[in-house]
Amino acid sequence: MTLENQKILVIGGTSGFGEQIVKLGLANKANVTVIGRHQARLDQLAARLKTNSSQLHCANVDASQVTQLRAFFERSGKFDHIVSMLGGAMGGGFLENSVAAIRETVEAKFFQNLQLAQFAAKHLNREGSLIFTSGSGGSPATASGAIVGNHAINLMVEGLAVEMAPAYRVNAVSPTWTPTGLWRSLSESELKQQTSAFAKQVPLKRVSTPVEVAEAYLFLMTNQFVTGQVINVDGGVDLK
C-alpha cells in the first residue's frame, strides 16, 4: 500500500519519534498534519524540515483538552492514519511515588489516549488506522505509573481492534528508552551517561535511533492485514 496523497495526523510529533514519522510521511508523498501544544516547537519543526510544502500542516492544539480536540477534528475532517505520541515517562516504584503522581502519569499515558480514540474513531477514512505509542523495557519496581499506562494501552489496542474491525485497524508501537526530545532536561553529559548505561541492558548493546522506531509506524500504516498488535522496537530488552 502506498501513502501517496494519504492524510496522516501525528499528535505530539514535534520532535523525536514524531518528527521522524513526519519526515517519512512527507518522503512518501503523504499529506501530514502535526498538532502540538507548544507553538514554538511547531515553528521549530517546520524550520528544521525547511519546507513550506502544502503537504505539511501544523496546528497548535492541546490534545489533552476535550474542547480543543473536538474543535480540531470538527474543522479538519477525516484522516487515513492517526498516530498518537501522547504520554510521558516516570521513574521510581510504587512505594516511593505519591498516588497523585502515579495517577497523573496513568492519566496522561492511558486515559488521554482513550479520549483521543473515541474522537479519532469517528474521523478515519475507511481502511484507515489508529497507531498508539506504548513502551518496552520498564520494570514495575522502577516505572510504576508508566508501566501501568503502557499495559493499559496494549489492552486498549486489542479491544479497539475488535470493536473497529473490519473497517479500521488499531495497533501500537512499543519503543524502549531512546534519546529523544522527551529527555531535553538532561545535560549532554547526563544524556551520554544514560545512553551508555541503558545500552548495557540491551542484547544488541546499543539504543535505537528515532528513525528506527518511526519506521515501525510506517509499516503499520502500509500493511493492511495487521491489527490489534503491539510492535516492540526495543533491541530485545525484555528478553533478558
- The answer on pLDDT for 149 being more than 90 is yes
* Residue 28, C-alpha cell as written in the block: 512518501
Q: Give CA–CA dist 56/54, Å, rounded.
A: 5
Please indicate whether residue 205 or residue 114 has the higher confidence score (pLDDT): 114
For residue 161 the three cell numbers come to 481492534
Count other Cβ atoms within 10 Å, centred on residue 157.
23
Mean pLDDT of 98-102: 95
pLDDT in tens, 173-185: 999 877 766 666 6
Percentage of the chain exceeding pLDDT 70: 96
Q: Which three cell numbers stand for residue 53?
A: 510544502
pLDDT value at 153 more than 70? yes
Amino acid at 154: N
Extents of the domains making up the chain: 7-239
Residue length of the chain: 240
For domain 7-239, give the CATH number: 3.40.50.720
Average pLDDT of every residue of the chain: 91
Q: Is 187 helix (H, G, I), strand (E, B) or coil?
A: coil
The pLDDT tens digits of the residues spanning 2-32 come to: 999 999 999 988 888 999 999 999 999 999 9
141: confidence class by pLDDT, cuts 50, 70, 90: confident
Whether residue 150 contacts residue 138, with contact meaning beta carbons closer than 8 Å, is answered with: yes
pLDDT score recorded for residue 185:
66
Tell me the pLDDT tens digit for each residue of 45-79: 988 887 657 899 999 999 999 999 999 999 999 99
Taking a C-beta distance cutoff of 8 angstroms, is the pair 43, 236 a contact?
no
Q: Answer whether residue 187 shows pLDDT above 80.
A: no
Grid cell of 210 as nine digits: 528515532
